[in-house]
Chains A and B, each alone.
Chain A
Amino acid sequence: MGGVSVLEDWLFKFPENIYINIKEPIDGAIDYMLRNWEPFFDVITKVLRSMLSGIGTFVELIPWWLLISLVFIATYAMSRKILRAILYSVLLFFIGAIGLWDLMNQTLTVVISSVIISLVFGLPIGILISSSKRANAVVRPILDTMQTMPSFVYLIPAVMLLGLGNVPAVIATTIYAIPPVIRLTSHGIQQVDVEVVEAAKSFGATKAQALFKVQIPQAMPTIMTGVNQTIMMAISMVVTCSMIGATGLGTEVLIGINRLESGTGFAAGIAIVIVAIIMDRLTQGIIREESAPNE
């Protein structure tokens, strides 16, 4: 009987004496960075902080009626549908009416900053990996990791290294939101008709000329789809980010959860949904305009 149970243990339980300790080296690495890389993280923090305050000031400078009018005009210009334009304006007005306008501005500040950083890094990386197989082989698994790694895993180290608040929130959001723009930029460029690229080369275009005059403009609809997805993913991080002290609508959701106040949670949740819908439709509109001549 004893023999059977030993066999059974061996078959069904992972052997206990096999254990690789990866926790301590990771702790050690973060500790090391915390102690020795302070100047480096200080620079990052400073840059992000001034960016955030710049964008924050800009967002807050736009009066509510101007933003609503802008959404109205942009929607109408893209869809030529007056009802849709009215609907989006009313939805935006509704956010103000439920008392969340300022929080929305704070959320927008974090989202816009993250999206800008994602684009600044994502577009060149996408372009790079579109033409280099080796870069592609390195970047792709990293992107997969970034997209699937639960964000709380890197949120806490981010807090330790960068402090609490909007700065680590921007970093965490960027990590989560950057993969689509990289992937779709690279995909879009690779998808450009081989003959079109050959044509550019055959007329004596340099690599840069082929890239900027032909490949990127041709890939633009796909690239814009990537931008759209990046924006959507950035918005989806809002609540998670408020768990490390990012201000805005996410905080309101957390308060709702912590106090069991479903109303508070839903109000903020609805505001997030409205922001997401408007941003999605506006960028979709741009994509449609970009791709219209290609049909």
Chain B
Amino acid sequence: MNEVKNNNIILRVENLTKLFGTKKTLAREMLKKGHDKEEILKHTGVTVAVNNVSFEVERGKVFVLIGLSGSGKSTVVRCINMLQPPTSGKIYFEGQDVESFSKSELLDYRRNKVSMVFQSFGLMSHRNVLNNVAFGLEIRGVKKSEREERAMEMISMVGLKGWEYSDISSLSGGMRQRVGIARALANNPDILLMDEPFSALDPLVRQDMQFELLSIQEKLNKTVIFITHDINEAFKLGDTVAIMRDGKIIQIDTPEGMSSNPADDYVRNFINSADKAQIYCVRSIMQTPTCLVRTRDGANHALKQMKINGVSSAFVVAEKMQFVGILTLENALKVRAGELAYQNAFIRDLPTTTPETHIADLIPIAAEASFPIAVVDENNQLSGIVTKASVLASLI
């Protein structure tokens, strides 16, 4: 049983420790004696980035390392591809000690086995999308036609077809990270190291990208080591989640296991913060109203707008986008039939919200509301609308 399991382990990290500073010997002794990170820093000037970390990653699974900034998670990934050589401890890739690699073996390992995706993308602004994606292949010495073909394939897989020859500077953040992912995948690596790849992105774009990653993962079945500080992202993506604090791993478990059985208060608090609605405010999920009519328009115009947009209600605004209320299809028809005056047809006493409101506070309103909720600023100007669906989606 054990044998079978081991065969499936692609990466094993044993007692990994990484110290930064000059007086490392002294620091290591203090570590052994059980002094904590701050004491060691004060005494020796050595930063303990990673402290005796061990874990295993199964082939084809997503392993998530989560922790606050400074918890050492980024250092762990950089040790895996030897951007940072470990101070002590071992890293085995398919049973081989990564640290024992010769120079050329190390290059080979980086070129073919592990690829990395960076938080701020790490793209080269002097190259266009295609040449960024083909970079890894170019380094490997792959022929130009061949590498471009492969890069094109990757670009279309991440949904950037048509952007091949664009400058990086012309892309949005989400698109840039797609380039980063395509670049990492172009090498066809066994392991994808992702260092907070989505942290620099807007919440909505981030959700998109998470979805994208899951679908790519489904297609290609890569092993992914994913770093994040967002417990939601961790639970959403991870087959296994390891939570780090002050350079140590506190708990490794499945998301389910961790939720139901947190190792300590720290983990419990972390999981509680998963209530994403606490983090997001309305602005991040609000949309532009598709169907908008003005008080000086008539019922016919309103009906036409509803028809064009395929909706059954329209938001009504006065001069300067002052929010008035909602005109339903029903009322509009009544106005046209002469049963109701246009000015009296609006439903006025509607709940509104502001862009700064936390989504959590919006939930009770959303639950009651029968129309999308209007988002207005302090001057009662309509800034956008929030649909029930988007409130729910943000909670997933």
CB under 8 Å from chain A, chain B span 123-162: 123-127, 135-136, 138-140
* A204 within 8 Å of B (CB atoms): yes
A203-B135 in contact (CB<8A): yes
Residues of A within 8 A of B (CB): 193, 195-196, 198-206, 209, 213-214, 217-218, 220, 293-295
CB-based closest 8 A-B pairs: A204-B111, A199-B122, A204-B110, A195-B122, A203-B136, A202-B116, A217-B126, A204-B107
A217-B83 in contact (CB<8A): no
Beyond A195-B121, A198-B78, A293-B126, 17 additional contacts (C-beta under 8 Å) are A193-B120, A195-B122, A198-B118, A199-B116, A199-B118, A199-B124, A203-B110, A203-B115, A203-B135, A203-B136, A203-B187, A204-B107, A204-B110, A206-B107, A217-B126, A218-B125, A293-B167
A203-B125 in contact (CB<8A): no
With a CB–CB cut-off of 8 A, which chain A residues contact B339?
none
A201-B169 in contact (CB<8A): no
With a CB–CB cut-off of 8 A, which chain A residues contact B116?
198-199, 202-203
Q: List 14 A-B contacts (CB under 8 A).
A: A195-B122, A198-B83, A198-B116, A199-B122, A200-B139, A202-B110, A202-B114, A203-B111, A203-B135, A204-B111, A204-B112, A204-B140, A293-B125, A294-B126
**Minimum distance in angstroms from A243 CB to a CB of chain B:** 43
A195-B83 in contact (CB<8A): no
Partner of A202, one of B83, B120, B123: B83
B139-A209 in contact (CB<8A): yes
A195-B126 in contact (CB<8A): no
A11–B15 Cα distance when bound, in Å, is 67
**Minimum distance in angstroms from A218 CB to a CB of chain B:** 6
CB under 8 Å from chain A, chain B span 143-194: 167-169, 183, 187, 193
Give chain A's interface secondary structure class. Answer: helix
**Minimum distance in angstroms from A195 CB to a CB of chain B:** 4
With a CB–CB cut-off of 8 A, which chain A residues contact B207?
none
With a CB–CB cut-off of 8 A, which chain B residues contact A293?
125-126, 167-169
A201-B118 in contact (CB<8A): no
A201-B167 in contact (CB<8A): no
A200–B121 Cα distance when bound, in Å, is 12
**Minimum distance in angstroms from A222 CB to a CB of chain B:** 13
**Minimum distance in angstroms from A291 CB to a CB of chain B:** 9
With a CB–CB cut-off of 8 A, which chain A residues contact B123?
196, 199
B126-A198 in contact (CB<8A): no
A260–B88 Cα distance when bound, in Å, is 77
**Minimum distance in angstroms from B392 CB to a CB of chain A:** 36
